[in-house]
Structure 1
């Protein structure tokens, strides 16, 4: 008989855990029984989370080359192994190529790709010694499908998808699974105002979505929890879209289909 997996006794790192999708992921893993190392560069964002049993707050920035060692010291101090890494921290928005300078483009890659790579490179070494583990990266539907005014963002998220598949190939024999989620439009503190104030965004991302709604952070968190758990034990190198069908249905029906009498 199949039973739902839990994460009891496992240790998970979640970057960008202070708000929005990262906070929802941390809460989902915590509810499943994991001990969560919540990483964020803003202390205010993880103070409330750190007050909960089973959470350790780590104040740090993914652009800091010393962050892996900082987290490692916390794990060693707790004598904990690393079971799950969720690379969620990142930046969004952007502009088209003519309005994207070298410095802007590099910043997207420094945060969204290089920071993720450093932590993943460090994590797989620990996971190899422990006999396996799971890495889940937060990519974006825009990394799969080009979108207007998102040159640096889309390119960096496409790189995240490529790195996900490449590392899954290399480290699968070590029992390490590497997957990604690709969210569509998710309502967070960072996107809520844009959703309200930009009619074109609602038309493009909500009216053009088969499920006709904006996503919630919990929608992404459930997908991450699944990929991090033993229920996904035979899944690696996969990009799970969490977009209400937007990527495949940007020309949806104007109204629902009605059953014939």
Structure 2
């Protein structure tokens, strides 16, 4: 029996949406554990900066709605003599409105990016992992895919679909040595959400003040959870959705004051 901390040395991870925020933190966390990372993003500035400051990064401009994205990653794997070990389907879009104000086009866009993009890339990656004899897929879902959420119909529905996809693929591909899990972040402060947290009092009240840990999450909080699920530390974990939300989904009624003891 060994309790040595597992590294990811010798493994190759593909991380989508790696140019900023949570995706960038995930890439950094996997790199810190020794993995090589193919960092995929529609915008090149963030992934180019990541590859400039860190070794073992391959920056690849790509869009998860592009049916040729898998072939583009294949080319990078082949050129660099790498074998896919980890796939992190992180790219996505958020916000939205309630169902009456959500058009068919809105709904389709959320599904194309948040669901179909992850599905297509998983479908591409699974055969590579089967040939290798093992692999780990980690999807970025959301607490809004687990509970009802204010004014985010298309987003919530799409993230609920990611939860279902995670569990279904874990069932199919577990016998081939492939684990499929998801993280469900709560409110995470990133460059995209910081202004909303400051300017929308209801968001602070509902997502921070009603969270047992009484704070927003950080990209590092999510990245650490993804690294765990991608590693052999989670070798007997599959089909799970890990809420990384400060306790928000367990009950939004925190104590007004912390418990004190003498």
1:93 maps to what in 2? 95
- For structure 1, which segment, 102-111 or 48-57, has the greater mean C-alpha deviation from structure 2 after superposition? 48-57
- Which residue does the alignment assign to 1:250? 252
SS in 2 for 1:4: coil
Shift of 1:258: 2.2
**Partners of 1:225 and 1:257 in 2: how far apart?**
32
Shift of 1:249: 2.2
4+ residue runs over 2 A deviation? none
Partner in structure 1 of residue 13 of structure 2: 12
Give the match for residue 77 of structure 1: 79
Distance in 2 (alpha carbons) for counterparts of 1:179 and 1:210: 24
Runs of 5+ unmatched residues, structure 2 = none
- Cα deviation, 1:133-171, whole Å, max 9, x if unaligned, reads 000000000000010100000000000000000000000
Match of 1:39? 40
Aligned residue number for residue 236 of structure 1: 238
- Map of 2:157 onto structure 1: 155
State the distance in 2 between where 1:32 and 1:125 align. 25
Provide the rounded CA distance (Å) in 2 between the counterparts of 1:23 and 1:160. 20
Gapped runs of 5+ residues in structure 1? none
The alpha carbon displacement at 1:50 in A equals 1.4
Q: TM-score, normalised by structure 1?
A: 0.99
Per-residue CA deviation, residues 118-147 of structure 1 (Å, 9 max, x unaligned), is 000010010001101000000000000010
Matches within 5 A, 1:177-192: 177-192=179-194
Q: 1:44-193 alignment to 2 at 5 Å?
A: 44-51=45-52, 52-193=54-195
The Cα shift of 1:40 comes to 0.2
User: TM-score, normalising length from structure 2?
Assistant: 0.98
SS at match of 1:69: helix
Deviations 1:225-246 (A, max 9, x none): 0000000000000000000000
SS in 1 for 2:14: strand
Per-residue CA distance 1:178-206 (angstroms, 9 max, x = gap): 00000000001110000000000000000
Residue number among 198, 201, 212 corresponding to 2:200 in the alignment: 198
Shift of 1:47: 1.2
